[in-house]
Amino acid sequence: SQKIEQNSEALNIQEGKTATLTCNYTNYSPAYLQWYRQDPGRGPVFLLLIRENEKEKRKERLKVTFDTTLKQSLFHITASQPADSATYLCALTAGGGADGLTFGKGTHLIIQP
């Protein structure tokens, strides 16, 4: 069956360090993968999209990698700040013609001052 797996345990990182979140998937062949941020009681907010032919994408302090062989994406936040504390969701297309994204359960990131 198709699965998107993100670390369900909260990730505690000290301020200033790099936070790395993992997204693994099975039985998908996504054309692209996206990362979203969700704060408590709010809707998800789009952060980055990376296509299958791209190995890495950067946006300010964010970096995403996409390894279609390993079926894995890594999401990095460098020089992390307490304001980066949130739940980060990985999402990809299920294929089959439906364009609705399928989301992982997310990883709760806590940046400690």
Partner 1 sequence: NAGVMQNPRHLVRRRGQEARLRCSPVKGHSHVYWYRQLPEEGLKFMVYLQKENIIDESGMPKERFSAEFPKEGPSILRIQQVVRGDSAAYFCASSRETSVIANTGELFFGEGSRLTVL
CB of 87 to partner 1, least distance (A): 10
| 79 touches partner 1 (CB under 8 A) | no
CB of 19 to partner 1, least distance (A): 20
Q: Which residue spans within 41-84 are E strands per DSSP?
A: 45-51, 56-59, 62-67, 72-77
| 31 touches partner 1 (CB under 8 A) | yes
- Residue written as tokens 């996409």? 66
| 101 touches partner 1 (CB under 8 A) | yes
Q: Report how far residue 3's alpha carbon sits from residue 8's, in angstroms, rounded to the nearest whole number.
A: 14
| 102 touches partner 1 (CB under 8 A) | yes
